[in-house]
Homo-oligomer: A and B are copies of this chain.
Amino acid sequence: MARIKTEKNTSRKDVIVSKAAILFREKGFKAASMRDLAESVGVEAASLYNHIKSKTELLHELCFSVANRFLQKLDEIESEPISAIQKIEKILRFHIVEMVNNYEEVYVSDREWKHLNDPYLSNFQNQRRIYRKRLAAIIETGIKNKEIKAIDAPTAVLILLHAISGIESWHRSKQKITAAALEENMVTILVGGLTI
C-alpha cells in the first residue's frame, strides 16, 4: 500500500496529471487507458479516483493550463512597445521554448483537445480561435507598416503554429541539434520568410 510519491509543492493529483501528459502524448488520449496510467503512477486504477474526477478532467487540466500560459504571454507581448515583426519573433520563441521544455503537455493540448467534452470543448475552441485572430492582427499591422510581406495573415499564423508543432519530431529524433540551435533555425526560416 505504498502511496504516490510527491515532491514538495506538488500534490498527488499533479503527479497523476503529468504522468497522464506523458501517456496521452505517447498513445493518444483515447488509446491511453486508466489502467495504463495507474501502472505508470504505480497504483491500482481505482485509486486514481481518490484524486481526480474523471479521465477527461485530466485532459481539461492539461489543455487549459497550456492555453492559459500562452494567452498570458500574448497579453504581455502585445502591450510591449516593439514592432510587429519583433512581437511575432518573441511569440515564436516563446512557443518554441514551451514546446521544448513542456513537450508532453503542449503536444497533448495541441493534438488531443478534440476529445474534450462540452462546455470545455467549445470553450477551448473559442480561446484557440481568438488567440489566432490576435496573432493575425499583429501580422496585419506588420504588413501595414511594411515590415512583413503582403501575405494572407491567417495563413501565416497557421504556418507558424504548425511549424512549431514540428518540434515533436525533433524531440524524438536521435541526433538532436541543441534546443538553442533549433530555435535559431526556426526563427531564421520563419521570421525570414515573413520579413520583406
Contact = CB atoms under 8 A, between A and B. Distances in A.
Q: Which of A156, A164, A169, A189 has the most CB of B within 10 A?
A: A189
Nearest to A32: B30
Contact of A154 (B115, B173, B188, B193): B173
A155 interface: yes
Given A30-B28, A161-B166, A189 B193 contact: yes
Given A28-B30, A31-B115, A190-B193, A185 B166 contact: no
Interface string A131-142: 000000000000
A181 interface: yes
Interface in A137-196: 149, 151-152, 154-156, 158-159, 161-167, 169-170, 173, 177, 181-182, 185-186, 188-194
Contacts of A165: 162
Contact of A189 (B27, B31, B149, B169): B149
Given A28-B28, A149-B188, A192-B193, 4 more contacts: A151-B188, A159-B166, A193-B193, A193-B194
Interface of A: 27-28, 30-31, 111, 114-115, 149, 151-152, 154-156, 158-159, 161-167, 169-170, 173, 177, 181-182, 185-186, 188-194
